[in-house]
């Protein structure tokens, strides 16, 4: 049976992750136009991969009742969140 508190926590988590905007600013200044375009393409894919990995892990953790499995999955998800932070351009 769906636990509404846990469901809303997952919605909150998803909104927080999706709010992690990256903007291209000062660090792009050292790149020429072609390099900047290529960098943006790569980082866009990388960024989406980190977001989707978290969604998969959170979904798996949400649906398992086994505590040790849930903890392991959430730990892996936390690593993906760190990766997402690395994708953000200041």
Q: Which residues of this chain interact with Fe ion, rule CB under 5 A?
A: 50, 80, 83
Shortest Cβ 87–Fe ion spacing (Å): 9
Shortest Cβ 61–Fe ion spacing (Å): 16
**Residue 69 or 78 with smaller CB distance to Fe ion:** 78
Give how far Cα 82 sits from Cα of 20, 34, 74, 79, 89, Å. 12, 28, 12, 5, 13
Cα distance between residue 70 and residue 88, in whole Å = 27
Structure tokens at 19: 């709010």
Shortest Cβ 82–Fe ion spacing (Å): 8
**Residue 31 or 76 with smaller CB distance to Fe ion:** 76
Report DSSP state, residue 31: S
């Amino acid at each position: 049976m769906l636990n509404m508190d846990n469901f809303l926590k997952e919605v909150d988590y998803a909104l927080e992750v999706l709010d992690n905007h990256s903007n291209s600013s000062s660090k792009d200044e050292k790149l020429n136009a072609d390099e900047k375009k290529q960098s943006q393409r790569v980082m866009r894919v990388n960024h989406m991969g980190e977001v989707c990995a978290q969604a998969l892990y959170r979904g798996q953790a949400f649906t398992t009742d086994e505590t040790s499995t849930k903890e392991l999955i959430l730990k892996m998800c936390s690593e993906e969140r760190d990766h997402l932070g690395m994708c953000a351009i200041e």
